[in-house]
Structure 1
């Protein structure tokens, strides 16, 4: 599944790596539906325990249509990540075009109760045969 390039960003000692993959078996181009999975790894390089409280995604398709998604935690969890530890999960994104891009942020709280945003790097959603437009 992890056939795409890896994208990474670090904010306040929180390293976020994303690796998207096109899911041909779940896509139906004739019906205008393309689906990707993306694996996210969140690594706590800071000296403080953090908790992922919420997320914000901005999803843009090849026609420039933008959708914003916000919600608590990720995949139904609000993980606590100790210094030196990591948390990984897999999620998905359907689009009505054969390419697009995602970018976002996780809203984190540290052990002292301070809140901050950890940047999720922008990454491309491309089919293997698509002309790369957004990256």
Structure 2
């Protein structure tokens, strides 16, 4: 189902797993547009419920141009994840180059009201068959 490996990071008992996939059918290389989808799974390994309040992404294209994206929740939601449960969603990213990378963080709040940032692992956006930017 996935044409690339999963990238993982764990912060304070929150495991974040990302699987990017190149979308050839939505890309237009001749027009300078390459598109990727990415599936994110957030696993709560803590003994208390957590809520994803906001996100921060740093997107870098193959020429080093950086865009930072911040916003409330993900895909219009601020999910509460119970202990031992997970939350998954899919999103996408267009670039003006055939490779790039993304990294970021989710701002979480636990059941006691404590806030922390869970790291989203850096992951590579590469056209299949091209040189990988990240391992």
TM bracket, shorter-chain basis = over 0.9
Q: Deviations over 1:48-107 (max 9, x none)?
A: 100000000000000000000000000000000000000000000000000000000000
Question: How much is the aligned-residue C-alpha RMSD, in angstroms?
Answer: 0.9
Residue of structure 1 equivalent to 2:93: 93
1:63-102 matches, within 5 Å, as: 63-102=63-102
Q: Does 1:117 align with 2:105?
A: no
**Runs of 5+ in structure 2 lacking a partner?**
none
**Which portions of structure 1, spanning 4 or more consecutive aligned residues, are displaced by more than 4 angstroms?**
none
What is the alpha-carbon distance in structure 2 between the residues aligned to residue 131 and residue 115 of structure 1? 38
1:6-85 matches, within 5 Å, as: 6-85=6-85
Per-residue deviation, 1:114: 0.4
The SS at the match of 2:18 is strand
CA contact (8 A) 1:62 1:134 kept: no
For normalisation by structure 2, the TM-score amounts to 0.97
CA contact (8 A) 1:34 1:94 kept: yes
What is the alpha-carbon distance in structure 2 between the residues aligned to residue 43 and residue 3 of structure 1? 22
What is the alpha-carbon distance in structure 1 between the residues aligned to residue 38 and residue 18 of structure 2? 7
CA contact (8 A) 2:124 2:133 kept: no
For normalisation by structure 1, the TM-score amounts to 0.97
